Amino acid sequence: MRLRAGVAIDLGTVNTLVYVSGRGLVIEEPSAIAINRSNGQISAIGRSADALTDKEPQNIEVVHPLRDGVIADLDATVAMLQAFLRMARLRRGLRRTTAVICLPSEATWVERRSVAAAAEALKPRCSIRLVDEPVAAAAGAGFDLAAGSGAFVVDVGGGTTEVAVLAGGHVVRARSLRLGGNVMDEAIMNAVRTQLGLLLGRNAVRTLKMMLGLGDGDVTEAETVGVDIALRTPRVDHVPAKLVAAAVEPTVKAIALTVQELLADIPPNLAEEVFRGGIRLAGGGAMLPGLSARIEAVARMPVVVVDDPLRCVIRGAARILEHDDLLARATTG
Ligand SMILES: Nc1ncnc2c1ncn2[C@@H]1O[C@H](COP(=O)(O)OP(=O)(O)OP(=O)(O)O)[C@@H](O)[C@H]1O
Ligand SMILES: [Mg+2]
């Protein structure tokens, strides 16, 4: 291992994480930027920008520049990354900084170009290395990429779910579904609105999702506070676990089906290694109550949620950044 002047970036739909060589994880913030409408200046970034979402301050526009795992607003992405790197206080070195950036495996050429363009606009100037997210997730999940062995990872993020089979640092089969935690949140929000006549804010919805999930636990309902649609006043209500489970079911079904499809397509030479290594679940969505049991039921093989799933991709990206052999093998551009 050799420490290089480098930075690894997990540019997620919901969260952005930045790791700097020799210093560790320095940024872990929501992917959000707040812009003052009257003068175009950045008024907040990350957590403080995200906190303004849905609160509708008159002169502030809150932008989440990524959608479904890819850049939806290039200018806002550049501004956000630039601000995060300023917060990270990257030092200018004699040599160009290597920047490892993670992307969904099925990102199109145009999407890859837009990420590279965003990164090329950063200061200090970086030499950009793009890594497929499942490769970083596998490295972060503890698979030994250098040994060339098989790995099966599922990364359930806010905007995308990556399901992939790898051998060494290479993707053998991968599917990138443009759905994840955000789609679950919308479905819960809509179900509570139509069935209970209650409008919920984003944090209330996320709390319900994290507490109830697929409803396989002992909790049968959870208390929440929203705005009554008819009276337009705040109201406390109890949301049945079944309502939340039904709302997230289509997303969970799509993920489980994709896992089944990829398992059915594993090259026979990788089958034993994949079976013995088990399926590893990463990303924030991996913590959805009941998800790992559901995937285990369809896959009929061991499924584990990795330690600290929200940081799995950045952990792997950092390993890739700091190992020359992995860097050479894992980068796509
Ligand atoms: N305990 C939990 N149960 C269920 N979902 C959770 C939990 N904790 C976080 N999440 C969800 O995980 C998602 C964020 O995960 P993550 O940070 O891995 O996504 P991301 O990397 O930003 O997105 P993407 O990889 O899709 O671009 C959010 O939708 C969040 O609500
Ligand atoms: Mg992610």
pLDDT value of position 324: 84
φ/ψ of residue 55, rounded to 5: -90, -10
Distance CA 225, CA 198 (A): 8
Ligand 1 near 287 CB (within 6 A):
yes
Segment 314-327 mean pLDDT? 92
Ligand 1 near 150 CB (within 6 A):
no
Domains of the chain: 6-136+312-330 (3.30.420.40), 145-179+248-307 (3.30.420.40), 181-241 (3.90.640.10)
Most confident of 49-58, 76-85, 323-332: 76-85
Alpha carbon nearest to ligand 1 atom 17, residue: 15
| 150 against 243, higher pLDDT | 243
pLDDT > 80? residue 235: yes
pLDDT > 90? residue 225: yes
User: Which DSSP category does 42 fall into?
Assistant: E
pLDDT value of position 31: 96
Secondary element (H or E) of residue 135: helix 133-140
Using most ligand atoms within 8 A of CB, pick from 15, 156, 163, 306 the residue to mutate for ligand 1: 15
Ligand 1 near 52 CB (within 6 A):
no
Question: What is the pLDDT confidence band of residue 145, given thresholds at 50, 70 and 90?
Answer: confident
Segment 19-40 mean pLDDT? 94
pLDDT > 90? residue 332: no
Least confident of 99-103, 156-160, 257-261: 99-103
pLDDT value of position 228: 97
Distance CA 51, CA 54 (A): 8
Give strand pairing partners of 131.
102, 331
Ligand in nearest proximity to the CA of 69: 1
What's the pTM value of the predicted model, to 2 decimals?
Answer: 0.94
Least confident of 12-26, 53-67, 216-230: 53-67
Closest atom of ligand 1 to 31 CA is: 22
Segment 115-138 mean pLDDT? 88
Question: What is the pLDDT confidence band of residue 170, given thresholds at 50, 70 and 90?
Answer: confident
Residue 106 neighbours by CB under 8 Å, 6+ apart: 174, 175, 176
Alpha carbon nearest to ligand 1 atom 9, residue: 284
Ligand 1 near 72 CB (within 6 A):
no
Ligand 1 near 12 CB (within 6 A):
yes
* CB atoms inside a 10 Å sphere around CB 128: 21
Question: What is the pLDDT confidence band of residue 16, given thresholds at 50, 70 and 90?
Answer: very high
Closest atom of ligand 1 to 206 CA is: 31
Question: What is the pLDDT confidence band of residue 327, given thresholds at 50, 70 and 90?
Answer: confident
pLDDT value of position 92: 67
Ligand in nearest proximity to the CA of 68: 1
Ligand 1 near 134 CB (within 6 A):
no
Ligand in nearest proximity to the CA of 13: 1
pLDDT > 90? residue 133: yes
Instruction: For residue range 243-264, list pLDDT tens digits in order.
Output: 999 999 999 999 999 999 999 9
The long-range contacts involving 294-297, CB below 8 angstroms and separated by at least 24 positions, are 294/214, 294/252, 294/256, 295/154, 295/255, 295/256, 295/259
Ligand 1 near 65 CB (within 6 A):
no
φ/ψ of residue 229, rounded to 5: -65, -40
